[in-house]
Amino acid sequence: MFRTLLQFIVFIGFFSSAYAQELSPTATGQEAVYATAGRYGMVVAQHHIGAEVGAEILARGGNAVDAAVATGFALAVVLPRSGNIGGGGFMLVYLAGEQKTIAIDYRETAPAAASGNMFLDRQGNVDQQLSTKSRASAGVPGTVAGLYYAHRKYGLLPWADLLAPAIRLAEEGFPVSDYLAQLLRSRKDRLGVTRAGLEIFYKPGGGFYAPGEMLRQQDLAKTLKRIAENGPDGFYRGPVADLIVAEMARGHGLISHADLENYTVTEAPAVTGSYRGFEVVSMPPPSSGGVHIIQMLNVLENFDLRQTGPGSAATIQVMAETMKYAYADRSQHMGDPAFHEVPLAWLTDKEYARQIAGKIKRGGVVPSSQIKPGTPPAPESPETNHYSIVDKYGNAVSTSTTLNLTFGSGIVVAGAGFLLNNEMDDFSAKPGVPNAYGLTGGAANAIEPGKRPLSSMSPAIVLKDGKPVFITGSPGGGRILTAVLQSIVNFIDFENSVGPAVQSPRIHHQWLPDVLFLEPGFSPETIIKLRQAGYTVKVGQVFTAVEAIEIAPGGWIYGYADPRRADGGAVGLCVEDMAVAC
């Protein structure tokens, strides 16, 4: 009841801009609307045009998977920093008919020619230029195969209809936002390494796009048309595959025709846990996110967070200590399950969580140097973005997709018009040496041909009595786990509606470095208490952007696009066949 009241107060504030925002193809380019309400569906994405495209598909009778496919391809056009066809991702689908959640894995894969020491120089040190900015940093892309798989198995509308908006946006262009204009200006060194990148993202002569000017991507439009006509064969075989392999030949690249043809999508049951009477489902390995979010929730269940309250030093201390144990375990136990046995049942076990909770004393801070990864009892046998979608059939989709760093490797496949990922940096290039996110790992996540690098992407769905009530996920590399965790804790423990659950300042601790990161917004008294308790506290930058949906009792659906990253959008359906916010 309290939550419902709060929702009305929070959302009424946003209605003036969201009200009666009718969608049509010409609606693209409107200002972002970060929060909105709907009754028959909702799409929340990191670019509002992506959300508008998805909502339009829902309004035409498509289901949440159709909308996810259309949004995914649209984001590959309008959100070049992480929307992609040259990367990979994870999609969690709650199927209302079967009341179950499945996890689709279309993560990039190490090419057959990859090897454990491929990023080490002669002295045995990790060459970060090679692991993040070279053609060798690209894993075999999975997005096109993944979206096709999801559509073929669970979609309703024709495939080509779902690509049509993306093709139109690439061909006719879309208006460059302030945020994108600024990003392109600041990343010219990265995007300008290939001639194709310069030609696409800069004006003839190298000039910058001003906000409001149209960015057209003709090569990308051609590639998308091939995918629309031929499905995955339009990407993994034929002219586009030839262009990818030709790009590899320009230096250091490893992806071959065989790698592209052999790419496979996997589907598995979601990893599941429970938290204070709610069910939480998320992505199994090669995501580390689902397992560790459930592990952290299991630990937190031993503490009365409602009593210590949101944002208090006491709550932050319990959460930060919990995070340290989870990230220590991540460094040792997590990797691609096809190559390494992940002790999943032990990591998500309530008893193991109780043991960790026993080590967390109120007010006590254990230095990271004294925290080691746990030991399972015995071997068991056997620049990302997120979008969340709910449809009128009761299905829900939670998708995280990425090129890894902002604009991936920065390398555009000449003639094909898309950026390649640098996901190979998510492997542990050398045991104990941190990757671009400061995350360390070992043998479990070492580079091997055909293996998928460990990911932090954690699309998640919270259910009550078998039905989704909260859909969440975020970009942010290693910080994704803690961002998604906090959105869930805010929703469940502090009874926040989706707006404050997403917006409240977040903390992050990843064991190593032994630093407690705080977003701006915590009180000076809290920060002093945390420093006095023994934490090295850094207050500053935000990295994550939670794109979430709440389904409230009574059928109202609330969407909230995290304003931490500009351009996001939430678009709801108020009447069954019209993408209009109520």
Smallest separation, CB 578 to ligand DON (Å): 33
Smallest separation, CB 71 to ligand DON (Å): 17
Helix (H/G/I), strand (E/B), else coil: 402:
strand
Q: Which of residues 469-528 bind ligand DON (CB under 6 A)?
A: 475-477, 480
Smallest separation, CB 565 to ligand DON (Å): 9
Dihedral over Cα of 239, 449, 119, 436: its sign: positive
159-172 and 48-59 helices, crossing angle to 10° = 140
* C-alpha to C-alpha distance for 95 and 467, rounded to whole angstroms: 10
Nearer to ligand DON, 385 or 395 (CB): 385
The footprint of ligand DON on this chain (CB under 6 A) covers a number of residues equal to 13
Piece of 47-55, 336-344, 451-459, 569-577 that binds ligand DON (CB under 6 A): 451-459
Residue 187 is encoded by which pair of tokens?
């990343």
At position 428, the amino acid (one-letter code) is S
User: Among residues 180, 457, 469, 561, which is the contact residue for ligand DON, using CB under 6 A?
Assistant: 457
Q: Which of residues 375-414 bind ligand DON (CB under 6 A)?
A: 383-384, 402, 404
Q: Are 90 and 398 in contact (CB under 8 A)?
A: no
Q: Which of residues 113-172 bind ligand DON (CB under 6 A)?
A: none
Is 71 a catalytic site residue?
Answer: no
Q: Does 111 bind ligand DON (CB under 6 A)?
A: no
Within its chain, how far is the Cα of 15 from the centroid?
A: 27
Give the dihedral of Cα atoms 487, 492, 496, 502; nearest 10 deg: 10
Nearest to 342 by CA among 425, 451, 259, 198: 451
Q: Does 456 bind ligand DON (CB under 6 A)?
A: yes
β-partners of residue 397 are: 93, 389
Smallest separation, CB 217 to ligand DON (Å): 21
Nearer to ligand DON, 181 or 481 (CB): 481
Smallest separation, CB 475 to ligand DON (Å): 3
Smallest separation, CB 145 to ligand DON (Å): 17
Nearer to ligand DON, 285 or 343 (CB): 285
Smallest separation, CB 69 to ligand DON (Å): 20
Q: How many CB atoms lie within 10 A of CB 60?
A: 15
Q: Which one of 101, 109, 194, 384 is the catalytic residue?
A: 384
At position 312, the amino acid (one-letter code) is S
Q: Does 285 bind ligand DON (CB under 6 A)?
A: no
Within its chain, how far is the Cα of 575 from the centroid?
A: 29
Backbone φ, ψ for residue 235 (5° rounding): -120, -45
Q: Which of residues 419-448 bind ligand DON (CB under 6 A)?
A: 423, 426
Question: Which phi-psi region, left, alpha or beta, contains residue 36 (left: φ > 0; alpha: ψ -120 to 50)?
Answer: beta
- Longest CA–CA span in the chain (Å) reads 64
Give all strands of the β-sheet with 41-45 in edge-to-edge order: 266-269, 100-106, 88-95, 396-402, 385-390, 41-45, 569-573
* C-alpha to C-alpha distance for 529 and 312, rounded to whole angstroms: 9
* C-alpha to C-alpha distance for 191 and 209, rounded to whole angstroms: 14
* C-alpha to C-alpha distance for 224 and 109, rounded to whole angstroms: 22
Binding site for ligand DON (CB under 6 A): 383-384, 402, 404, 423, 426, 455-457, 475-477, 480
Residues catalogued as catalytic: 384
